[in-house]
Amino acid sequence: MRERYVFIMIALLLVAVGCSKMDEYKKFTDGKELNYAAKNDTLKILPGNNRLKLTWWVITDPNVVRTVIYMNNRADSIVLPVKREPGKQKFEYLMDPLPEGNYSFEVVNFNNLGSRSVASFVSGRSYGNRYKETLLNRSLLNHEIQNDESVKINWGTADVQSYGVDIEYTDNKDKLVKVRLKSEAKDIRLTNYKKGSTFRYQTLFLPDTLCIDTFRTDWAEVKPLFDKPMDKALFKAVVLPGDAPMVPGDGYRIENAWDGVWPTEWGDYGNWRSLSSDLRSKTEPARVTFDLGESVQLSRFRINHYWPYENRMMKRYEIYGRADKPTNGDMAGWTKLYNFERTDQSEAAWLAGDNGSFNTTLPGVRYIRIVCYENYMNPVETDMGFAEITFWKYY
């Protein structure tokens, strides 16, 4: 019985000591119980252009009356009055301007009793000129003039932080048109494009998925090059020392190469008028020279043949050009414009003719020289023969 009494006394003593320790804080709160304000929920930083936005939620506690944002290791603070509404409520604060850099914030709520909440912490950065200077326009691979005279632009792969390219151009009714290329798209068409005008483009960037501002590259300007067939009535033969003579007869003159007549059906030998050289050497490259009649920047060419992969049909040849009038037969002063070597010997390829586009960096030319290195004779010779040549020029 005595042992049971001692046990009860010890238990009561422990309870008394425990209660004494639990109430110890009341010495520092004037005997009042602690009452914390609600902590902020889902605190986020939304970066921007020389600014930042903080957002957070207050889920409970209708008694929150102000929020304090500390920064620079509590050297600076911003006090925001809070007007609570029933239920869950979102708050935000825009720091503008805020120089480009990294920042850390401590956010604390206070209630109407002056009690504070547990602090919330968040870090982030603002962006500015240093970031913008690293941005590059999405690469424009090339542009193509379509049959309807719209402009198709082909693009390289978009940067992971880019979400689009803004493009502005003038249509054929002199109206400004604005379109946007999405980052996943590889090409875009500018319809009803005004010939001779320019378009411009800039690339759009978001350094962070939460960013509140779009960063843009400087505008880049491009003038699409339209082309059209040259007037063959201006073409004239030029005979220089070393040029190959033609096979005798009107049906083989150099002028037949621009008379507008060529075979349009496979194996049709009826339209036989063509340019046909008759080089005595048969092994030295054969060449012919002619005047386009005007100085132009060439865009492309087509050569239509008479012989279907036989006889003097050219298999390997080069096209040269120059702007000034040649005075002798050597190759000095000539610029190589195109090198052609046949790989497709199908009927379709013969009907389509030899087609090639000239590099846009090539200089303007007026005089053309064609040099043939190999034909379809057996054994192989160097004489050339073709029915028609067509050039297109930029304008």
pLDDT in tens, the chain (395 residues): 444 444 444 444 444 444 444 454 444 445 555 679 999 999 999 999 999 999 999 998 999 999 999 999 999 999 999 999 999 999 999 999 999 999 999 999 999 999 999 999 999 999 999 999 999 999 999 888 898 989 999 999 999 999 999 999 999 999 999 999 999 999 999 999 999 899 999 999 999 999 999 999 999 999 998 999 999 999 999 999 999 999 999 999 999 999 999 999 998 888 889 999 999 888 999 999 999 999 999 999 999 999 999 999 999 999 999 999 999 999 999 999 999 999 999 999 999 999 999 998 999 999 999 999 999 999 999 999 999 999 999 98
Q: Give the other-Cβ count within 10 Å of 260's Cβ.
A: 9
DSSP state of 127: B
Helices (H), the chain: 2-22, 129-132, 347-352
The pLDDT of residue 267? 82
- The arrangement of strands across the sheet holding 187-190 comes to 140-145, 151-155, 187-190
Which helix or strand (DSSP H or E) is residue 301 part of? strand 298-304
Cα maximum dimension of the chain: 146
Rounded CA separation 47/42 (Å) = 16
Which residues contact residue 57 at a Cβ distance below 8 angstroms, ignoring those fewer than 6 apart? 40, 41, 42, 88, 89, 90, 91
C-beta separation of 89 from 58 below 8 A: yes
What does the alpha-carbon distance between residue 204 and residue 182 come to, in Å, rounded to a whole number?
10
pLDDT of residue 13: 42
- CATH topology classification for 229-394: Jelly Rolls (2.60.120)
Helix and strand totals (H; E) in the chain: 3, 26
CA distance 52 to 55: 10
Beta bridge partners of 90: 57
Structure-token pair, residue 335: 């610029």
Q: How far apart are CA 148 and CA 377, in angstroms?
A: 42
- Given this model, what pLDDT does residue 269 score? 84
* Percentages (nearest 5) of helix, strand, coil residues in the chain: 10, 45, 45
**78, 93 contact by CB (below 8 A):** yes
Domain limits, CATH 2.60.120.260, in the chain: 229-394
Domain 135-224 CATH superfamily? Immunoglobulins (2.60.40.10)
User: What does the alpha-carbon distance between residue 342 and residue 353 come to, in Å, rounded to a whole number?
Assistant: 11
**3-state class (DSSP) for residue 317:** strand
Handedness of CA 126, 132, 133, 138 (dihedral sign): positive
Q: What local confidence, expressed as pLDDT, does residue 264 receive?
A: 92
Strand 151-155 with 140-145, pairing: antiparallel
**Whose structure tokens read 């610029």?**
335
pTM for the model stands at: 0.67
What three-state secondary structure class fits 133? Answer: coil
Residue range(s) in the chain whose domain bears CATH number 2.60.40.10? 41-127, 135-224
Q: 41-127 sits in which CATH class?
A: mainly beta
Residue 186 CB neighbour total at 10 angstroms: 12
Half-sphere exposure of 163 (CA within 13 A, CB side): 9
Q: Distance between CA 371 and CA 117 in Å, rounded?
A: 88
Tell me how far apart the alpha carbons of residues 200 and 189 are, in angstroms, rounded to a whole number. 14
CA dihedral 317, 247, 308, 321 (to 10 degrees): 30
Closest CA to 191 of 149, 223, 226: 149
Burial of 282 (0-12, 13-18, 19+ CB in 10 A): middle
CB environment 366-383: b (16+ within 10 A), e (fewer): bbbbbbbbbbbbeeebbb
Q: Across the beta sheet with 354-357, what order do the strands follow?
A: 227-229, 388-394, 298-304, 354-357
Sign of CA dihedral 331, 334, 339, 345: negative
